[in-house]
Amino acid sequence: MTIYYNIFYLTEYCIQDEDEGCKFECHCAKKSECRGGRCPNGCQHAALGYNWGGPACQIGNVGLQKEANMTASDKYNTLYPPTGALDGQIVLNRINSHCAHPYNSASKPAEWWADLGNIYIIYNITIFGRRDCKLFWIVSFTISFCYNSI
């Protein structure tokens, strides 16, 4: 099976001070605090490793520019590197390196994995697949999470 991945987008969202039990951290600019579920100075931006948004700056791509690996031949690692899935570009074809292309023989499943570098509460994961052909390639897959302490 061959699968092209294009963005590993993770989002977080709830309103602190309004939603009881909200465990999501606000990511306000200039280290300001959320007030009434809003960040008075806006959100932290991509220069800090994320591009946070939403009312309380809790929605963001925590996979952006992170380290990634995959099972693939040298050809696929060069043309469609594992980090292509985490570059923030939504390109739904295989013309460029803005997607990852894990590949193995039919006898062994293809694998792709990323190290987010931190512990996060994950609310949503969005995976974009190719639209130029072979839409059936992103079927029958598993998403697993693990924590490895160093």
Please report, in tens digits, the pLDDT of each residue of the chain (150 residues total): 333 333 344 444 555 555 566 667 788 888 788 877 788 888 887 555 567 888 778 888 888 888 888 887 677 777 778 888 888 777 666 666 677 777 766 677 778 888 888 877 777 787 777 666 666 666 677 788 787 765
Domain total for the chain? 1
pTM of the model: 0.63
Which residue's entry shows tokens 């292309």? Answer: 101
Range of the domain at 8: 1-150
Please give the pLDDT value at position 71: 82
